């Protein structure tokens, strides 16, 4: 553990710390952020009524639209001269959202990133190949400083130029790779193309996040790269990567949320009412310790559940795997659908390479989904189509046809929706170049 004292702090002490930080935070934002002062005054919230972390439900939510309305620096609690770094989101929809840090905030960022890397298996003295993007995205720089803080050496490769990344993995032999799960798959498939394997590199741990991924993808990455793959979660508004992390020896049981800095809640996506541990809803965070731009009850739009795991020595709460973002949820003929539900189905088939895309269209008034999924090279060789195949082969080749029908039935049985399934030859669906991969092409709005 990077910080054993805090990571194993008894819950009673953790609650006391959170309460002190919350009371301090609420008083600070009321005095320094006009947005919060107005909101408190309008909603009749008396700052002095917030006495402990148990009062957090009395506070209003902060939403992404509020950040856009206060663009760029409306949420600052310190003068701009005290800032040490500014990041912002890509702003594909409307204005970008800005997040700013003081030196103290950057220390917190490095601390939680270091804790996360250590929980993911990284140790001082190891080398880390960092393929998260450097720049306005918090992934690259955030993980970089965390690794240095932990005592690792960092190879700051960033995204793209997969050829060069493979050379560096072979030559420098880093034990740890940090990247999106889809990029880890790209690296694995490029290794295979070059007739290289996990024994030509020296990776032991892969710390993967920034986009949803499933157990199927984990299995694929672990076997192709020879790593223990763990989940790292975070978002710029809260700090960046390292809000939560899965432990390498507790895989599949959720990711520890570093609760001394980020207080998590799960609320109902329609009413905002708090939900009990174990129930799925929208994840909301209060940044208890952040200085420059703290947020009260920030509505992440991410869907998951929270629960304590009393069987381990770390005391902080765990968040389950993200189902997706509330705004990524497709509504198909009235049925709610996350692309990860389809991805889970692919786990049952060794015949498939788990690279896929969902294309949604409207025919007349009816939503249609086409599931495009790649077949594995081994399967193609087995059915005599080792050099690949075209759309026509799908109806001509009995193995491809049987596979298509089986998948259609399985999807209909499991998610209750009929979808068109198109098997694609390996390497025909766009792969990750390192950034976040979009699995959904929704053409209904265009």
Other beta carbons within 10 angstroms of residue 172's beta carbon come to 14
Whether 128 contacts 171, CB under 8 Å: no
Among 158, 162, 189, 236, interactor with ligand DLL by CB under 6 A: 236
Instruction: Please report, as residue ranges, which positions from 143 to 182 form the binding site for ligand DLL (by CB under 6 A).
Output: none
Residue with Cβ nearer ligand DLL (53 or 229): 229
The answer for 14, left when phi > 0, alpha when psi is -120 to 50, beta otherwise, is alpha
Torsions phi, psi for 149 (to 5 deg): -60, -40
Interface with ligand DLL (CB under 6 A), residue from 56, 303, 322, 358? 322
Q: Which one of residues 40, 101, 109, 132 is an interface residue with ligand DLL (CB under 6 A)?
A: 132
Shorter beta-carbon distance to ligand DLL: residue 89 or 182:
89
What are the tokens at 428? 């025909």
Q: By CB under 6 A, is residue 96 in contact with ligand DLL?
A: no
Give the strand pairing for 318-319 and 255-257: antiparallel
Distance CA 224, CA 199 (A): 10
Point out which span in 9-17, 51-59, 191-199, 233-241 binds ligand DLL (CB under 6 A). Answer: 233-241
- Cβ-contact 431, 185 below 8 angstroms: yes
> Angle of helix 215-225 relative to helix 339-346, nearest 10 degrees?
50
At its nearest, how many Å lie between ligand DLL and the CB of residue 92?
A: 11
Q: How many residues does the chain have?
A: 446
Among 88, 112, 119, 210, binds ligand DLL (CB under 6 A): 210
- Decide: is 185 part of the binding site for ligand DLL (CB under 6 A): no
Q: How many residues bind ligand DLL (CB under 6 A)?
A: 21
Nearer to ligand DLL, 30 or 213 (CB): 213
Give the residue, chosen from 62, 300, 340, 355, that forms a contact with ligand DLL under the rule CB under 6 A.
300
- 231 counts as binding ligand DLL under rule CB under 6 A: yes
Would you call the peptide bond into 72 cis, given omega within 30 degrees of 0 as the criterion?
Answer: yes
Question: How many CB atoms lie under 10 A from the CB of residue 276?
Answer: 10
- Of 75 and 132, which CB lies nearer to ligand DLL in the complex structure? 132
Structure-block tokens of residue 232: 């790292």
Its sign, for the CA torsion 135, 139, 140, 144, is: positive
Closest approach of ligand DLL to the CB of residue 224, in Å: 20
Q: How large is the C-alpha radius of gyration of the chain?
A: 23
Residue 209 is a binding residue for ligand DLL (CB under 6 A): yes
320 forms part of the interface with ligand DLL (CB under 6 A): no
Residues that bind ligand DLL (CB under 6 A): 89, 132, 137-139, 209-212, 231-236, 240-241, 300, 302, 322, 325
């Amino acid at each position: 553990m990077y910080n054993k004292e805090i990571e194993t702090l008894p819950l009673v002490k953790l609650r006391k710390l959170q309460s002190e930080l919350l009371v301090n935070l609420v008083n600070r934002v009321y005095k320094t952020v006009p947005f919060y002062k107005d909101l408190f005054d309008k909603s009749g919230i008396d700052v002095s009524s917030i006495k402990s972390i148990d009062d957090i439900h009395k506070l209003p939510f902060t939403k992404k639209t509020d950040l856009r309305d206060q663009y760029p620096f409306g949420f600052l609690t310190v003068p701009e001269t005290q800032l040490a770094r500014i990041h912002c989101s890509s702003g594909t929809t409307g204005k970008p959202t800005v997040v700013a840090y003081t030196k103290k905030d950057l220390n917190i960022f490095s601390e939680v990133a270091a804790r996360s890397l250590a929980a993911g298996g990284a140790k001082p003295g190891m080398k880390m190949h960092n393929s998260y993007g450097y720049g306005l995205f918090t992934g690259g720089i955030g993980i970089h400083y965390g690794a240095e803080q932990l005592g690792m050496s960092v190879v700051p490769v960033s995204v793209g130029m997969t050829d060069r990344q493979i050379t560096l993995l072979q030559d420098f032999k880093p034990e740890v790779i940090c990247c999106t799960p889809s990029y880890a798959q790209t690296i694995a498939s490029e290794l295979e193309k070059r007739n290289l394997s996990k024994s030509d590199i020296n990776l032991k741990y892969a710390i993967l996040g920034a986009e949803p991924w499933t157990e199927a993808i984990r299995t694929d990455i672990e076997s192709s790269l020879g790593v223990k793959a763990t989940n790292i979660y975070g978002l710029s508004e809260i700090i960046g990567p390292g809000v939560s992390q899965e432990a390498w020896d507790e895989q599949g049981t959720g990711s520890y949320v570093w609760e001394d800095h980020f207080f998590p809640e799960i609320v109902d996506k329609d009413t905002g009412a708090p939900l009990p541990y174990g129930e799925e809803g929208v994840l909301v965070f209060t940044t208890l310790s952040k200085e420059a731009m703290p947020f009260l009850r920030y509505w992440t739009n991410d869907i998951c559940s929270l629960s304590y795991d009393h069987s381990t020595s770390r005391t902080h709460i765990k968040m389950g795997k993200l189902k997706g973002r509330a705004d990524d949820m497709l509504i198909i003929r009235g049925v709610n659908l996350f692309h990860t539900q389809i991805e889970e189905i692919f786990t049952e088939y060794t015949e498939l390479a788990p690279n896929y895309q969902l294309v949604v269209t409207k025919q007349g008034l009816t939503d249609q989904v086409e599931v495009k999924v790649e077949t594995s090279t081994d399967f193609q060789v087995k059915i005599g189509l080792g050099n690949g195949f075209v759309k026509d082969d799908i109806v001509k080749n009995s193995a491809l046809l049987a596979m298509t029908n089986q998948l259609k039935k399985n999807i209909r049985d499991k998610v209750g929706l009929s979808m068109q399934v198109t098997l694609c030859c390996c390497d025909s669906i766009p792969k990750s170049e390192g950034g976040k991969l979009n699995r959904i092409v929704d053409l209904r709005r265009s």
